[in-house]
Amino acid sequence: MFGTVQIDHPRDIIIGVAITSILLAGSIYMPVIGFFCALFIPLPVFFYRAKLGRKAGMIVPVLSIILIMGVLSSGLLIENLFLIKLLLLGFVLSEIVELNLSVEKTILYACCAVLLAGLFVLFFLSGVYDIRIVDMVNDYVAKNLELTLDLYKNMGVSEENVFILTNALEHIQYIIVRIIPALAIISTLFITWASLLLAKPIFKAKNLFYPDFGSLNLWKAPEYLVWGVIGCGLMLILPDQGIKILGLNGMIIFMIIYFFAGIAIVSFYFEKKNFSRILKFLLYSIIGLQKLALFFVIGLGFFDIWLNFRKLKTKKS
Percent of the chain topping pLDDT 70 = 92
Instruction: Summarize pLDDT for 67-122 with one digit per residue, the tens.
Output: 777 666 555 567 778 888 999 999 999 999 999 999 999 999 999 999 999 899 88
**209: containing domain:** 1-213
Q: What is the largest CA-CA distance in the chain?
A: 63
**Can you give the CATH number for the domain in which 5 is found?**
1.10.1760
Question: By C-alpha distance, which of 96, 79, 31 is closest to 184?
Answer: 79
The mean of the pLDDT values for the chain is 87
Q: Residue 75: what pLDDT?
A: 54
**Do the Cβ atoms of 283 and 268 come closer than 8 Å?**
no
Q: State whether 84 and 232 are in the same domain.
A: no
Percent of the chain topping pLDDT 90 = 52
d(CA 236, CA 301): 21
Q: What is the DSSP letter of 238?
A: S
Q: State whether 230 and 166 are in the same domain.
A: no
- Which of 189, 213, 237 is the last residue in one of the domains? 213
Residue 196 pLDDT greater than 50, yes or no: yes
d(CA 190, CA 113): 15
Q: State whether 232 and 184 are in the same domain.
A: no
Q: State whether 160 and 38 are in the same domain.
A: yes
- Which of 180, 195, 213 is the last residue in one of the domains? 213
Full-model pTM: 0.87
Residue 47 pLDDT greater than 80, yes or no: yes
d(CA 96, CA 63): 22
Q: State whether 240 and 198 are in the same domain.
A: no
Q: State whether 313 and 180 are in the same domain.
A: no
Where does 98-178 have alpha helices with state H? 103-128, 133-154, 159-178
Q: State whether 208 and 251 are in the same domain.
A: no
d(CA 249, CA 243): 10
Q: State whether 202 and 69 are in the same domain.
A: yes
Q: State whether 153 and 107 are in the same domain.
A: yes
Query: Helix-strand-coil percent breakdown of the chain, rounded to 5?
Result: 80, 0, 20
179 burial type by CB count under 10 A (0-12 exposed, 13-18 middle, 19+ buried): middle
Residue 296 pLDDT greater than 90, yes or no: yes
Q: State whether 136 and 199 are in the same domain.
A: yes
Q: State whether 96 and 86 are in the same domain.
A: yes
- Which of 213, 233, 257 is the last residue in one of the domains? 213
Instruction: Summarize pLDDT for 201-225 with one digit per residue, the tens.
Output: 999 999 999 999 988 889 999 999 9
